[in-house]
């Protein structure tokens, strides 16, 4: 399948110098990061972490949805995570309006109807981060075992600000 040839060629180089054989399957530094899928974000680097130090979960907007919650429960219960960072970022498409606005953008760009999806778009990032952090702190399988912080990452200067 030629559509992936460039990626497979890059993987061959990666595999040639592969240095992670035998790496621990848990978060060595005890950190989990929930953040956005935006390609401008480097979740490990922004916290000075390296491969193996943290569990990283990504989704549109970096919101605490059901999948992220399940992943964080597993991270805390089984993978030695004791600190969770919820990270949203500036100039995020998921902060430009609500889900209705996202549906309208998709329809305008492609003509497709995505109204059956739930993206969790929310223009009030500080409130959303605080709500997600509060939900994690209150969760019986997460809160008693982990310290949770909420952050906003600035895509223009690389700085993190703690919001919660």
Digit-coded pLDDT (tens) for 95-148? 999 999 999 999 999 999 999 999 999 999 999 999 999 999 999 999 999 999
- Spatial distance between the Cα atoms of 53 and 10, rounded to a whole number of angstroms: 24
- Mean pLDDT, all residues of the chain: 97
Report how far apart, in Å, the C-alpha atoms of 8 and of each of 37, 39, 51, 93 are: 22, 20, 21, 30
Q: Are strands 160-162 and 54-59 parallel, antiparallel or unpaired?
A: unpaired
pTM: 0.95
- Spatial distance between the Cα atoms of 127 and 158, rounded to a whole number of angstroms: 21
Q: Is a pLDDT exceeding 80 seen at residue 1?
A: no
């Amino acid at each position: 399948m030629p559509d992936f040839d460039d990626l497979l060629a890059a993987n061959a180089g990666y595999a040639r110098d592969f240095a992670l054989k035998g790496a621990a399957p848990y978060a060595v530094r005890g950190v989990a990061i929930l953040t956005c899928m935006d390609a401008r974000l480097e979740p490990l680097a922004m916290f000075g972490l390296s491969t193996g130090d943290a569990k990283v979960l990504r989704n549109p907007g970096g919101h605490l949805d059901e999948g992220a919650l399940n992943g964080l429960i597993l991270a805390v219960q089984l993978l030695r995570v004791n600190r969770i960072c919820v990270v949203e970022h500036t100039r995020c498409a998921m902060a430009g309006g609500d889900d209705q606005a996202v549906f309208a953008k998709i329809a305008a760009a492609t003509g497709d109807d995505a109204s059956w999806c739930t993206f969790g778009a929310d223009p009030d990032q500080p409130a959303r981060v605080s709500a997600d952090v509060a939900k994690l702190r209150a969760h019986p399988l997460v809160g008693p075992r982990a310290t949770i912080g909420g952050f906003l990452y600035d895509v223009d200067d690389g700085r993190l600000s703690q919001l919660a």
